Structure formats: C-alpha cells, structure tokens
A and B are shown apart, each in its own frame.
Chain A
Amino acid sequence: MDLKDNGMNFDDTPQEAAFRAEAKAWIGANAPKQYEEELRKSSLGRTVLKGANILEVAKAWQKRKADAGWACLHWPKEYGGRGSSPIERVIWQQEEGPFGKLSGMFIIGHGMCGPTMMAFAGEEEKRKYLPPLASGEKVWCQLFSEPAGGSDVAGLRTRAEKKGDDWIINGQKIWTSGAHYSDYGILLTRTDPNVAKHKGLTMFFLDMKSPGVEVRPIKQASGQSDFNEVYFTDVKIPDSQRLGAVNDGWNVSLTTLMNERMSIGAGVSTGFPELFDFCNSLMLDDGPAIEDRNVRSRLANYAVKASGLKYTSMRAISALSKGDRPGPENSIGKLVAGSMVQEVAMYALDLQGAAGVLSGPEDAEVAGKFQAMLLRAPGTRVEGGTDEIMRNIIAERVLGLPGDIRVDKDVPFNKIPTKGRA
C-alpha cells in the first residue's frame, strides 16, 4: 500500500476505515431509530422529543454505548472509556450523526469535569466516580461562574473554610447548566481572601444532593430555563474531595477550561443550512426568495462563513490526528457562529415581513424556528466566554499581543473595589 502523503485528502487510512465500519455497524444495530427524524430536524437550540423525556432517552443511549464500549471513547478503559485516538473519536461523532445530539446533557461532565477529575482526583476516586460519569448514570455540572465573577471568574466569592477534615461552603453560583438534574459537580471556591484573587482559590467536587445545596432555575430572557442558580449554605465537603492543592484552584480550573477546547469536531450551529432551505422554499412578492439578488448576496456571505468554520474544524482535526494539541485558535468557532446565528435569525424574520413577528408554531414560518433562534441567540454570545473574551483569547494567545493592564492583579482579594458608581 502506498502511504505517500500527497496532501489534501479526505480518505480514511485502513485502520480508520475499519473503525468507521465497526462504529457504523454498531450504531445501525443499536441506536434509538424512532427518534432519528426528530433529532435530525432539531438543529437549533434545545432538543425536544415529542412524547418522550429526552433526559431518559439520552441516559439510555449513553448506557447502551457504555456497555458496548462506545462511551467517552478517548478516555482510558479503566475509567469507562475506550482508549481511542482523537481521530477515532471524530469518526465516531460523524457516524453517530443526529444521535450525538443526545449527548448534550453530558458535554460538561464528559468534556470538563471528567478530565479535571482524571488530572487531579486520587486513584480510588477516579475508579469510583469516572465510570458512572462515562456511562451517563451520573450527570455532572460545573460550578464556576458567580454573580460577581463571569468573564472575571477569579473574582468569585463563594467561601470554603476548613473545619476539621471537612470544608464548609457558603455562597452562590450562577449560570450552572443542568444543575437541576446533576448528581455531582466540580466547584471552585475562595479559600484565602487575603491574597491576590487568583492565588486564593481551591477546587472541589461534591455530591449535589448534599444538605445545604439549593438549585433554583433561572428564567432566561428567552423565557426558557436551561440554567440555574445554586446556593450553598453550610455545605460540608470532605477534604478527600479536594482537587489539587489548597489555593491552587486557578491552575486546576485552567485544566478544565483547556479541555473545553478538546471538544472540537462536534460542529457549531450557524443557522445557515436552515436559512438556505428556508430561502429555497420562501416566495416573496416578486418571486422565489432565492432568486432575489439581495437574498443571494446575504446567503453567500453566510455560506462562506459556515463553510469556513467547517473546514477550519477539519484542519484542526487533521492537526489533532498528527498529535498536535488543540490550541486557543479554536475559539474562532464559537465567536463566529454565535453572532452569525443571531444575524441569520434576524434576517429570516425580515424576509417574512410583518408576519416575522409571529412565533406560534401554527402561525410562524418553519414552526417558529427562527423566532426561537432569535430569542436564544443573545445567550450564545455570552455563555462559555463572551465574544469579547474570545477576541481577547485570540489576540493574546494566538497573536501574542500583551494582556490587559489588570489593576487588581497584585491586590489582596478583600481590598478589590466591589462597586463602580457609588
């Protein structure tokens, strides 16, 4: 077999082709096909299944995968994974197709909590907690953001105080995805307020059913509730559940956030395929929308952004398969897709004229998909790092520009001002 690398090809190697065939065959025989059509269509925002509880369907699919060795492919086998290469993981995602949307509720656990546990928990804890996380029997959440620390997460105030062999937690987290159905969480706390903000943080993991944990859903501007506030009142965490050294929590959290970027290849939603289909079928006063010059120009602009993202992700996968670690350059996906979804939604409404205001599934075009997208979009540009933070990451870590001047860098945390205008 000629293995000469001529560059630019989409061909599988023989091993990759064998893996793909095996994955495809298993998925074909085991996936919950009755939901395939609904999952395929639900490309924007939240996935909803009629007549079924999506959490239960998702958990059942995850467990089935785990039992057959197809869960968390890139994790070591002893922790519930398959020990696969990054490219095998990508091939799996391609073959899993719409059923991969069922993994939404596990993304944070598998993508962030698991890798953090793997890097910092004791061996006994890893063997106890990771396999049920991989199999979806236990769901995890990530408790970092606070009302006083979003982009500036190191400004968080939730206190952890040592009492005997335990830590006592008091404070409040916010924007916690899935806290209401999570069994465990990783929690970043302040353990020393007398030193600079990054130097007094400590990471733990905890049982979300612990006494003193209260989860309250947040009603978002979109009217939905995907996130929660989580309150901690004298919650006790044993010291054995500390991740990393006391006051080294900032470094631990960097591992967590670094792993967030590993989840490339899954693809980001841009809204373009939906808009293209919509314009293909929409009739304007003077003919089909797709034949209107302005429409075509707008569509072409969105098309090249969407394809640019797709092929940027393929370049990243190629780099990954050669052993490169995904770097900060992958911030581009979220930055571009986030504002694009918003623009696409606004444009789709505009194309409908006055009727664009209607959002009821029976009255609105495409069952109100674009109206829902419009109302959800502002959140996309904020969650997981705002557009501005993404631009800072690109400017500082990809282009090498200097960091911002941080006036609170060397100030003890408890001396940092907490109010702007008095």
Chain B
Amino acid sequence: MNFDFSDEQKQMRDAARKFLAEKCPPKAVREVLDGKATYDKALWKGLAEMGFLGVAIPEEFGGAGAGHLELCVIAEEMGRALAPVPFSSTVYLAAEALLLAGSDAQKQKWLPKIASGDAIGTLALFEGKGNPSPQAIKLSAAGGTLNGVKKPVPDGAIADFAVVAARTGSTGRDADISLFLVDLKAGGVEVRSLTNIDPTHGQAELTFKNCKAEPLGAAGEGWGILTQVLDRAAVLMAFEQVGGSDRALEMGRDYALDRIAFGRPIGSFQAVKHILADMYVSATLARSNCYYGAWALSTNASELPEAAAAARISATQAFQHCSKNNIQVHGGMGFTWEFDCHMYYRRANATAVTLGSLSYWEDQLIDRMRKKNAA
C-alpha cells in the first residue's frame, strides 16, 4: 500500500508551487480582482509551456499524457495560489467531457488547443437557481440548433467553446438530456458577464439563439456523461479547495505568530490556538478524503461516485472553515481589502456552489452509499 503521491508527483507539485509563487503572487491575482484583466493571460501561457494544462491529456492529443494524479497535485497548487485563470472550467469540465465522450475528430480539434493554451473551454449546465438535475435543463436542441439561456457559466465570457447540456426529449427521464459542443466564436450566442462574489473567476450568461451545435456523445446519454464529468471535476476542485485551505491556515498561523496583543503573540492564547487547531483538523480530513478521491479518479474505480462526493463535501467545508477563520484570526485587518484574506474567503464560497451546492452533494453521497450498501 502507498496511500500517498509518488516522489515524481511530489516533485511536480513542488515545481508547480515554485512556478506559481513566481508567476502568480497575490499582486497578479489582484489585477483580475480589480477588473484590470478578465484573466491572467501571461500565466495561462506559462501554464501551457510548463505542460500543466495538458497534463492529463494523452500525448496523441497534444498533452503530456501523465495522468490524473499529476493533475490533482497541480490543482492543489492552483487553489493555493488562487490562480486567476480558467483552469477548472477548461481542464476539469471541458477537457474531461471531451475525453469521456468526444469523437476522435472533436478531441483532435480541441484537446491540443487546450494543452497549448490556445483554447478556453467551459461547461454550460445551469439555468438559474438550483442544482444539477435533468429536470432543470430547459435549453432545447432540435435540428442541430440550440435555443435557451445558461447561467451561471464559469469563465463563459472568455471561453472559446462550451459543452452545453440540452433537452432533446420530454419523457421526464434522464435520456431527455444530450450534450452538444458549441464554438462560441462562430455566432449564435450572446454573452453577458455577470457580477459575482469572486471576481478572480468570471461568470457569464450565455443566450443561445438558433445556435449551431454538434452532438457530443450519443443522443440521450448526456445526463450519464455529465454525472461522470461532475464527479471527476468534484475531485479535482476538491484539491483546489484543499490547497486554498492550507494556505488560509498558514496565513492565520503566521499572523498569530507575528501579531502582538496584550504583550504576547496572539498565537499563545488558547482561544486563538484552538481556532487554528480546528482549521488544521478540517484541512487534514479534507486532504485525506481527497486522496481517496484521487485514487478512485486515477483508477476509474467503481468507488469514484462515493469518493468524489465525500471529497467534495469535506473540501468545501474545510475551505469555508479555514478561510472564514483566517479572517477571524486576523481581526480587523482581515476585513480590509488590502489584506489577502478576503480573496480566499471569496474563492472558498464561490467554489462551494459552482459544481452544485453542499446540500446537493450531501444528498448525492447518501444516495451513493445506499446503493453500495444495497449491492
């Protein structure tokens, strides 16, 4: 048994951390936060040059052909650095959907461009309030054209293409849903940027009006593919959340060591220490759940649905817990724009809902555990 990453994978993590420390300091994140750029284009190019964008894409499609464990360690570093680039939407959602369901021609068209940093992709799933469900998908597909509105779509305003979930039937069953691939630059889509709690990652509304689209995967199999894509993205996003949790914990710890009040470092007061100890506990539980998720993802194990839901819940809780208590440890300074604490708080609460809410994943976890028990 080795319930840990290999030495090579750890070296890749170190390389990613070093690269991001240099190319993505908080100052760079703030460029996007302050609206001076929609995303960090130089960083995106750099990630492509490092081979990080295509790390889990097979070599025949222009990737590095490493694997998902390697992608997990990079995801953790992306979360830690709050990288203001469309990594999760392009790599966890669009690329995974293409890998799972794309035709050879579709993979050849988009995957090399993802790996080289020349295409940004996303998944257009949600239509307003609510969690992932076939019933919530109203956008219609008929005769190869799409009509309807998707929002929020992560990184939708900067994406070159989108995987779109559409309704192709009205039987009330999962088979009503099919996936489509849309070139967002080819016309037929109106894009509107939406204000959101984490401006370091854009959200958009996409309005499809007789928009041309090609099927992704077989008709009627959209919901099954989506479920798999969301599970895989849940594990990868959970690594980002764990990376963010760890960084928030470190920030709180460092501040508690440096800040003097009542004549002593505030980290010597048990009231503060215990907050930090609890942050460590939640981050550790999340990391361990994520490692199980990584194992399930990398081996495509039958345990993946359960492991992904557990990783998702645990990491969401940890990032929310660590980021809010990092502010608490910082006191008033933690509530200033100038300090970086709020950037983690924003990211934590945005990632907590963007793949479906905590209560949605709680529900999923229990369903999946029951299924396993019954089997």
Contact = CB atoms under 8 A, between A and B. Distances in A.
Interface of A: 5-12, 16, 87, 276, 280, 290, 293, 296-297, 299-301, 303-305, 307-312, 314-315, 317-319, 321, 329, 332, 335-336, 388, 390-392, 394-396, 398-405
Contacts of A11: 1
Given A7-B69, A319-B4, A308 B277 contact: no
B288 interface: yes
Most buried by B among A10, A310, A319, A335: A10
Interface string B253-268: 1001100000011011
Given A8-B294, A308-B284, A404-B268, A315 B366 contact: no
Contact of A304 (B8, B274, B314): B314
B308 to A, nearest CB: 12
Contacts of A390: 277
B319 to A, nearest CB: 13
Given A280-B370, A296-B363, A317-B3, A312 B253 contact: no
Contact of B366 (A296, A319, A388, A401): A296
Most buried by A among B257, B276, B277: B277
Contacts of B249: 399
Nearest to A313: B288
B273 A391 contact: yes
Contacts of A314: 1, 3, 288
Interface in B320-375: 359, 361-363, 365-366, 369-370, 373
B270 A392 contact: yes
Given A296-B362, A309-B288, 6 more contacts: A8-B5, A9-B1, A11-B1, A299-B362, A318-B3, A321-B2
A396 B366 contact: no
Contacts of A7: 2, 4-6, 8-9, 69
Given A10-B3, A280-B370, A317-B1, A300 B313 contact: yes
Given A318-B1, A329-B284, A396 B273 contact: yes
Nearest to A299: B366
Interface of B: 1-9, 69, 249, 253, 256-257, 264-265, 267-268, 270, 273-274, 276-278, 280-281, 284-286, 288-289, 291-292, 294-295, 298-299, 309-310, 313-314, 317, 359, 361-363, 365-366, 369-370, 373
Contacts of B6: 5-7
Please report whether the interface of chain A is mostly helix, strand, loop or mixed according to DSSP: helix
Contact of A308 (B3, B7, B253, B289): B289
A395 B277 CA distance: 5
Most buried by B among A299, A300, A391: A300
B268 A403 contact: yes
A290 B370 contact: yes
Given A8-B294, A9-B295, A297-B359, A303 B273 contact: no
A12 B274 CA distance: 38
A318 B267 CA distance: 31
Contacts of A6: 6, 69
A12 B1 contact: yes
Contacts of A8: 2-5, 69, 291, 294-295, 298-299
Given A8-B3, A299-B366, A312-B288, A336 B281 contact: yes
A139 B265 CA distance: 46
18 contacts: A7-B9, A9-B2, A276-B369, A300-B309, A300-B366, A303-B365, A303-B366, A307-B314, A308-B310, A311-B289, A312-B285, A317-B1, A317-B3, A392-B270, A395-B277, A395-B280, A402-B268, A405-B268
B274 A318 contact: no
Contact of A300 (B2, B365, B373): B365
Contact of A391 (B4, B274, B284, B285): B274
Given A12-B1, A401-B267, A394 B281 contact: yes
B68 to A, nearest CB: 10
